[in-house]
Each structure stands twice: as C-alpha cells, then as structure tokens.
C-alpha cells in the first residue's frame, strides 16, 4: 500500500491544476483504489458557486468513470490554507459511499502538519457502513 506521505504529495501536485479564480483556494485530492491505482482530482470553481466541484468528488468521478468502485485511502492538500482543512460534508458523504469506515483519510495544508484519520471518524454513525456490518 502507498504511504500517506506519498499520497499527500500526489494530492499536492494536483492543486497545480486547480481552477479557483474566485476563492484563490486550491485543493487537490489523490484517491487510492483497492487495486493500487491512484486517481487525482482538483477543485473546479464556477461563478455560480453552487456548481463548484470539490477535488475529492472530482477524483471519485474520475475513478468511477474508469470502472473503479473500491477506494482504500484519500489524501487532500490545501496549500493556500492557514491550517489543515478536512473534506466538506458533501465529500465525506460521497467518499463514504465507496470506502470502508476504517479507510485512511489524510489532509493538510503542508506536509509537516498532516492530519491522519479514517472516513468512519469523519462521518460517524454512517448508516451505509452500519448496514454493511449487519450484512456480514
């Protein structure tokens, strides 16, 4: 498995393709698939702000389009922030659709201050995860 630091570096690289002319807040994501492949995503803003897509969902959409459905880790880089910024609620929900509760989530504004957690910790008492556990 790829380590958290390497995955974060990939997310940081993805921020270079960010389209953030309104907020000037670049975000990159690197999504590790169960088979070891990695998909990158970046935020794409729109002047109609509700149409903006987050980096995490951008990565998920790319992976799904390539036929991937199971993800084991995600890294999120926010180099323009003053501190670590975790995924928004919508991204947490989308990520939880395709990740087990114990899947790794790492995020930060620089590699020296990374937060490492799990999707289950970011979205506790997720009904989908609870249903999966009951079916086992």
pLDDT tens, 18-69? Answer: 999 999 999 999 999 999 999 999 999 999 988 999 999 999 999 999 999 9
Q: pTM (2 decimals)?
A: 0.92
DSSP string across 97-115: HHEEEEEEEEEESSGGG-E
Smallest Cα–Cα separation from 40: which of 14, 65, 17?
Answer: 14
Give the model confidence (pLDDT) of 90-116 as tens digits.
999 999 999 999 999 999 999 999 999
Q: Regarding the domain delimited by 4-135, which CATH topology (the fold level of the hierarchy) does it fall under?
A: Cytidine Deaminase; domain 2 (3.40.140)
Segments making up each domain of the chain, as ranges? 4-135
Q: Does 88 score more than 80 pLDDT?
A: yes
To the query of whether residue 112 is one of the catalytic residues in this protein, the response is: no
User: Of these residues, 56, 82, 113, 133, which one is catalytic?
Assistant: 56
Pairwise CA distance, residues 59 & 64, whole Å? 9
């Amino acid at each position: 498995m790829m380590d958290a630091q390497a995955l974060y570096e990939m997310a940081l690289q993805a921020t270079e393709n960010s389209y953030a002319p309104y907020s000037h807040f670049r975000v990159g994501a690197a999504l590790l698939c169960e088979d070891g492949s990695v998909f990158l995503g970046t935020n794409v803003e729109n002047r109609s702000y509700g149409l903006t897509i987050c980096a995490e969902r951008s990565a998920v959409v790319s992976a799904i389009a390539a036929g991937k459905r199971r993800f084991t880790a995600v890294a999120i880089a926010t180099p323009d922030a003053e501190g670590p910024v975790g995924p928004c609620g919508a991204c947490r929900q989308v990520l939880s659709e395709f990740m087990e509760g114990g899947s790794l989530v790492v995020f930060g504004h620089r590699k020296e201050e990374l937060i490492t957690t799990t999707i289950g910790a970011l979205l506790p008492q997720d009904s989908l995860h609870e249903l999966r556990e009951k079916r086992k």
